[in-house]
Structure 1
Amino acid sequence: MAATYIPDGIASPIDSAKSVLSPLSLGVPAPRSNALQNRVTSVLSASYADLEIRDALSGLDERDLRNTATTRRHIRLDVQGELIQCNGEIVQDFGKVAQQLKRIGAAIENLNASCAEMRKHIGAAHQETGPMLDEAKSILSDRQQVEKKQLMLNAFTSHFVVSDADLSLLTSTAEPVDDGFFRVMTRVKKIHNDSQVLLGSENQRLGLEILEQSSRQLNAAFQKLYRWVQREFKTLDLENPQISSAIRRALRVLAERPTLFQNCLDFFAEARENIMSNNFYAALTGAPVDQDHPVLGKAIELSAHDPLRYISDMLAWAHSATVSEREALEVLFISEGDEIAKSIQAGIESEPWSREDDETTTAVFDGKEALSQLVDRDLTGVFRQLKQRTEQVVQSHEVAALAYKISNLLSFYSSIFANLLGRDSALLETLRSSSETALRSFRSIMRDNVINLHTGLAISPTDLAPPEFLTEALETLSVLMKSYGTSIVTADRNQRIEGFQPVLQEALDPFLAGCENITKRLQNPNNHIFALNCLLKTRESLRQYAFADKSEDLQPRLDDHERELTETVHTRFLHESGLATLVDNITSAQDLAASYKDPKQLSSVAQQLDAFLPAATEDARAFLGQLEDKVLVRRIIEHAAEGFCEDFEEIEDLIMQADETREAQVNGEMTDDMWLRDVFPRTGNEIRVLLS
């Protein structure tokens, strides 16, 4: 506190309390001392931290009072006086507030009276306008329902009703098939599909009527589109690379009606078949179909110098036309991807009566297969003419090589068309039939030639050379092999060999059989020389082409004749040298000693041997001079000489053994008799050198 309220010289309450702690010391009676003690105790126990006490002390501090006896005596009175004064001021202020409240109460009573009057007027007005409000609410509700129905009607009309102008675009033949037609048709399709939703509602009659109406409109639209596509097909130029996109779009849409789409394809195929047939005839003869489409280049019939070239040019034209036709139809039918296939699939599902009776599930439409079939139908007339003219050429030229070349040419183009149109193409059957016809003609001509060989088989060649009929057959066979080698397309060696075996059976085997018959009539060694000449020439001709090489089949026969001819030369060596007598009669040293007791008996054989050796090989070459293969001649002479040398060495061994036996008999005594070795001095090495 800023000032103390206990004056100087006056003891503090605490000191006072201490001084009166003992009531006996003050001489006061006990009860009074107890009251004072309680009072002091309450003062001492009071908390000066209490807010009320602190506020009271703060108020005293503001008054700037001194703690004196006078102040302590008057402070209560002063405070009470101030309190009375403050209460008086408050009562005055509340008096003014009471006056204001009276005025406000009077204003509120006036307002209540006005409100009550207004409530009376409002109640009366409400009684008068209530029916009108109810009627207005009902009218507004009806208006909202009408507006909703009007919106539904407008939406229904805009979605399910086709205007007369759009209907005219859709069904009238006077209107063109353009974007507007397809736009209206798309909308009618949507109406037709959405009308099925109405069938599930309460009012099914409306859905049935719209469904029936949209079906009639769609049918009329498809009929219009069908007739328009047919008209366009009549004037469609597939050679024009800028084929109208409208026709492609029309075909894609028309595919939703498989029956109409198939009728259009049939009409298109028939028209294209006539056009392609006329174009092919014009290319053959040079006569144009019309003045607007002149024939470019020279006519095939005038430019082809031989039958094979004639057929080749026709096939080349057919191939070029097929490629062009396929490319054009791809642009026309497949350029839109699988749209036509999807449309046909949807159409088949919507037309269950168009399915086959036994078909439970609808097969997926194959656009490429359908395209190949359409190309087949377009070119049927061309291939029919091609087949007729090819068969006429084959029948009018009875030449085996030509018939076989034509057959190979047709087979070659068959493989090309197979890659272009597929293995199941009907056009391939036409080419295969023509190829088989040419092949039958080839076989017939070859068999006729074999029948005519009987006159040639009766004459044996004097020079032992291959007969003329074999030479001609090998020349023809060379032509056939060349034709086969240029036309075959398979890379499998076994298939190439098997494919040419029938030709060898017709064009070679009968002639080899004829040569074999001639061989049987000839004497040795002419028969072997003639056979070797024929077989060697045949093998040489066949080796030109791997698929015709019959070396493995001919080699055993060649080896047999070579072996027989070698044995003949070997026998000739033995007889001309004089060794045949020794080889045939002498088998051991005892036989030699017994047969030639006098060594001089061998002198004639030795002399004949010496006379034979200088010209032995030359005589053998002259003996085999008609054998055309000189390498084979040398090999035969070498093998025969080798056999002769082996026979001589055996005789030489027997002579040496006979001399050794004789020497043992004389026990080494000197004698004037001649030894066999002295009469027969030649050695095996000398013979080999002289015959080499």
Structure 2
Amino acid sequence: MTSLLAPGPSGSGSATPTPAASRNNPISLRIYKAIGTSFDDRSSREALEIASSFYSAKGKGRTDDDILPIRRTLKGQSAATARRNLKRDVEARMAGGAQRFLTAFGEVDDKLDVLREHMLDMQSRCDAVQAELDQANSGTKYLLERADGLRSQRASAQLRLSLVKLFLARFTLTPAEEAALTSRDHDVGPELFTALDRVETIRRDCQALLGGDESRMQAGLDIMAATGTQMEAGYTKLHRWLEFAFRQMTREAHLEVSPAMREGVKRLAARPTQLKDALGVLTSTRQSAILTAFLDALTRGGPNGLPRPIEIHAHDPTRYVGDMLAWVHQTTASEHELLESLFGVRAERMVGAERDTASTEASKRVGEALDRDLEGLGRPLKLRIEQTIKSQEGIIMTYRIVNLVQFYLVTMRKTIGPDALLVKTLQELYDYANAAFFETLQAQGRSLLRFLHPPDATLSPPLSLRDVCQVLREIITVYDTSLVDAAERETDFAKLLDAAVDPAVEMCERMADLRKASGTNGAWDKDVFLVNCLEYLEHTLEPYQFTAPRVQGLQLQIETHVESMTFEHHGKLLEQCGLATVMRAIHSRPPDTPLSRLPGATATELTAALTKFSSFLTSHDPLTSPRLALLTNPRSAEVIHRTALRRIAEAYAEVCDRVLDKKEGYEFAETLLRRGRDEVEVALGVQ
């Protein structure tokens, strides 16, 4: 009992302090120690639980491996027995556990011995296998080396195969491309053009092979030969297709240029011979079609008779010729647009502007093709217009045809160029019509000079001159309404005026000469008649600006005759006013001789002349004179009369100066002069 109550060395409780009287009493010490010890910590509880398990009943916590003996104790003495045998039981339990460990490790050792023997056996087997492997390795070394060589050869072959495939893909055509070039089952279209581009690319890339070693050069030659054959087949197919397509372009309904046709013509530009053959088919087809269409337009008209046939208006020369030329011009424009579309020429120009026919190679081809297309129109057009011109007798109608042909000549020259055959035909027509017109005009001039007679008593322009001026007015009206630029027609019109006006002027001069030779007052009548005729011509030409040079020439001639009439009229007035003798004396007197001593200018004669002059001033008409009444232009008569009166005033002023001059020897000179100069000028109406 005392041993169980004594504190163990591992007790975790703290002793309760004891009184000093019982410190030396062992029982008291044990009791106090037991009472003061605490077994609440975890380790103490686990120790007690393990100790209590030692002595639990069979089947209540004991196992078959438990080595503790089962002791028979009296009732109530089991706890004391357990306390006495606790240390021995613990040691026995520890010895049993150690024995069980030894038994287990013995079994493990036996197993390890078996495993060691097994490992040794495996080692021997591995050595045998390794020996066999070494033997096999030495036997298959050649095969491995051979396999490596074959593997490297295979890689090299695969690389070469890929290079060959790339080479063939770059320098050969696909089956589809070959079919597009050679097969008739494939129509001409983008596939053919793509294949041609591919061939061109191959041949261009092949140039690099021709500059290498012999093997590469041979490959390049082979490729060039193969692609050359393929290219030739493609272009031959394209050429035949274009010829077939061009043969179908016979009517307006078939005049549609497809993109394939345009691209085909562009491709064949690299092969001038084939392109020339194809264009020859086109121009031949279009020439025949245009000529047929022109003849149909002349005789049959349009579809269902509209528009009506051109020849139905053959009785109207200007409309007949104009309709033919308009049809040709319209057809030319349509054909030009067709060819520009075919050759891919995009002309950016205003409507009616001049076309540039030789700016590019394509434009030159357009001009050449258009020239050949319209070539067939020249002969029938020229024949009909020439017949129309020959049948005309009137000069006005001929001139209208001339202007009409000239307008279309200038227009077509801008449209298709001056070297085109149709333009040359129009130029020949214009020259023919112009020659016919001038021949008629010259015949009219010759007829004016054929039967001449003196002018009538009124000295007015003759009827033949009036007819010439009427024709000239109509010609000028036609010229003024012409659509041809003034620069194109100015030279020809100057020749026309000369051919029309010169014979008329010559006729008037000859008639005036006949008048002059037939009468006493012939020179005066001649001037009056010529002034009337020339002014009539001037009045005909004056309203138009383009006749200004010829009008100026007529004015110079009129001024010459007006001056002659003014001089003669002044002489007559000088005789009437009485100053003629005095003026003759003044102008013919010898040097150093006084005027008063000359006959006709003495004081007596001077007084008589001045008296007559005063009477003239009171009786004359300052505005007109009966001698000028035959002038058809009142303004000319007024100019002549006023100029003569002004010269009379100047003559009187000169007489006054001489009379007042003391050297002239007049006595009482102031008394001789009855009127002053200003008074005379007022009286004559020239101030």
What runs of 5+ residues in structure 2 fail to find an aligned partner? Answer: 1-112, 348-357, 517-521
The 1:660/1:250 distance shift into structure 2, 3 A limit, reads closer
CA deviation profile, 1:121-146 (whole Å, cap 9, x unmatched) = 33212111112213322333343344
Shift of residue 652, structure 1, vs aligned partner:
5.2
Structure 2 vs 1, CA of residues 622 and 161 (structure 1 numbering), >3 Å: closer, same or farther? same
Does the CA contact (< 8 Å) of 1:273 and 1:381 recur in 2?
yes
User: What letter is aligned with 1:231?
Assistant: F
Q: Is the 8 A contact 1:185 1:218 kept in 2?
A: yes
Change (3 A) 1:564 1:125: same
Residue 326 of structure 1 contacts residue 371 of structure 1 at CA under 8 Å; is this kept in 2?
A: yes
Matched, 1:510 2:534: no
The residue aligned with 1:307 is 317
Closer, same or farther: CA 596–192 of 1 in aligned 2, 3 Å? closer
Question: Which of these residues, 242, 245, 250, is aligned with residue 232 of structure 1?
Answer: 245
CA contact (8 A) 1:659 1:677 kept: no
Per the alignment, residue 265 of structure 1 pairs with 279
Aligned partner letter, 1:559? E
Kindly state the Cα deviation for residue 591 of structure 1 after the two structures are TM-superposed: 4.9
Q: What is aligned with 1:474?
A: 469
Cα deviation 1:257-287 (Å, max 9, x = unaligned): 2211111112111211111122222222235
Q: 1:629 to 1:365 in 2, by over 3 A?
A: closer
- Give the 5 Å matches for 1:75-474: 120-160=131-171, 162=173, 167-199=178-210, 200=212, 202-203=214-215, 204-236=217-249, 243-287=257-301, 296-303=306-313, 306-334=316-344, 366-474=361-469
Q: CA deviation at 1:639?
A: 0.9
Distance 1:392 1:241, change over 3 A: closer
- Report the structure number with the largest CA radius of gyration: 2
Work out whether residues 418 and 428 of structure 1, in 8 Å CA contact, stay in contact via their aligned partners in 2. Answer: yes
- Kept in 2, the 8 Å contact 1:456–1:469? The answer is no
Summarize deviations over 1:325-363 as a string: whole Å, max 9, x none.
2222222211589xxxxxxxxxxxxxxxxxxxxxxxxx9
2:323 alignment partner, SS class: helix
Q: Distance in 1 between matches of 2:180 and 2:288?
A: 34
2:575 equivalent in structure 1: 575
| Structure 1 match to 2:634 | 630
Contact 2:445 2:499 in 1 (8 A): no
Task: Write the mapping of 1:482-521 to structure 2, written as runs, cut at 5 A.
Answer: 482-487=477-482, 489-490=484-485, 498-521=491-514
Read off the aligned partner of 1:528 and give its amino acid letter. D
CA 364–407 in structure 1, closer or farther in 2 if over 3 Å, else same: closer
SS of 2:457's partner is coil
Partner SS for 1:397 = coil
Deviates more, 1:194-203 or 1:313-322: 194-203
Contact 1:590 1:658 in 2 (8 A): no
Q: CA deviation at 1:631?
A: 1.0
For structure 1, the 5+ residue unaligned runs are: 1-102, 338-362, 665-674
- Higher relative contact order (Cα pairs below 8 Å, separated by 6+ residues): 1
Deviation readout 1:386-440 (Å, 9 max, x if unpaired): 2222222222214433333333333322332233223444432222221111121
1:249 is paired with a residue whose SS is helix
2:237 & 2:557 partners in 1: Cα distance? 80
TM-score by length of 2: 0.69
The 1:229/1:242 distance shift into structure 2, 3 A limit, reads closer
Is the CA contact (8 Å cut-off) linking 1:648 and 1:684 kept in structure 2?
yes
Question: Retained in 1: the 8 A contact 2:247–2:281?
Answer: no
Partner of 1:348: none
- Structure 1's 529 and 164: CA in aligned 2 closer, same or farther, altered over 3 A? same
Q: Is the 8 A contact 2:596 2:666 kept in 1?
A: no
Say whether residues 1:524 and 2:528 are aligned partners: no
Change (3 A) 1:585 1:141: closer
1:465 and 1:530 in contact (8 A); partners too? yes
CA distance in 1, matches of 2:492, 2:665: 70
Structure 2 equivalent of residue 552 of structure 1: 552
Letter in 2 for 1:537: Y
SS at match of 1:617: coil
* Counterpart Cα distance in 2 of 1:263 and 1:597: 104
Count matched residues.
546
Distance 1:612 1:524, change over 3 A: farther
For 2:227 and 2:601, how far apart are their aligned partners in 1? 134
> How does 1:579-590 map onto structure 2 within 5 Å?
579-585=579-585
**2:461 touches 2:529 (CA, 8 Å); kept in 1?**
yes
Q: Distance in 2 between matches of 1:374 and 1:615?
A: 87
Cα pair distance change 1:304/1:545, threshold 3 Å: farther
Residue 627 of structure 1 and its aligned partner are, at CA, apart by 1.0
In 1, Cα distance between equivalents of 2:633 and 2:462: 16
| Amino acid aligned to 1:502 | K
Work out whether residues 656 and 677 of structure 1, in 8 Å CA contact, stay in contact via their aligned partners in 2: no
Q: 1:207 to 1:611 in 2, by over 3 A?
A: same
What CA RMSD, in Å, does the superposition of the two structures yield over aligned residues?
4.0
1:194: Cα distance to partner?
4.5
Task: State the shift of 1:295 in Å.
Answer: 5.6
For residues 294 and 232 of structure 1, do their structure 2 counterparts lie closer, same or farther at Cα, with a shift above 3 Å needed? farther
CA contact (8 A) 2:596 2:603 kept: no
Q: Give a deviation string over 1:593-650, Cα, whole Å, max 9, x none.
A: 7768998877875675566445533895321111111111111111111122233344
User: 1:364: Cα distance to partner?
Assistant: 9.9
CA–CA separation in structure 1 for the residues paired with 2:598 and 2:235: 122
State the match for 2:566 in structure 1: 566
Give the drift of 1:655.
6.1
C-alpha separation between the residues in 2 aligned to 1:336 and 1:654?
89
Question: Bigger shift: 198-207 or 253-262?
Answer: 198-207
The one-letter code matched in structure 2 to 1:554 is: L
C-alpha contact (below 8 Å) 1:617/1:637 kept by paired residues: no
Percent identical among aligned pairs is 28
Deviation at 1:443, TM superposition (A): 2.2
Q: CA deviation at 1:115?
A: 8.0
Change (3 A) 1:471 1:111: farther
CA distance in 2, matches of 1:618, 1:278: 78
2:651 to 630, 647, 651: 647
Structure 1 distance, partners of 2:428, 2:664, is 85
User: Do 1:481 and 1:548's aligned partners in 2 also have CA atoms closer than 8 Å?
Assistant: no
Secondary structure of 1:456's match?
Answer: coil
Q: Sort the Cα spacing of 1:601 and 1:640 in 2 relative to 1 into closer, same or farther, 3 A.
A: closer
Write the letter of the residue equivalent to 2:289: I
Of residues 221-230 and 582-591 in structure 1, the stretch that sits farther from structure 2 once superposed is 582-591
Distance 2:658 2:164 in 1: 136
Higher mean C-alpha deviation, range 212-221 or range 238-247? 238-247
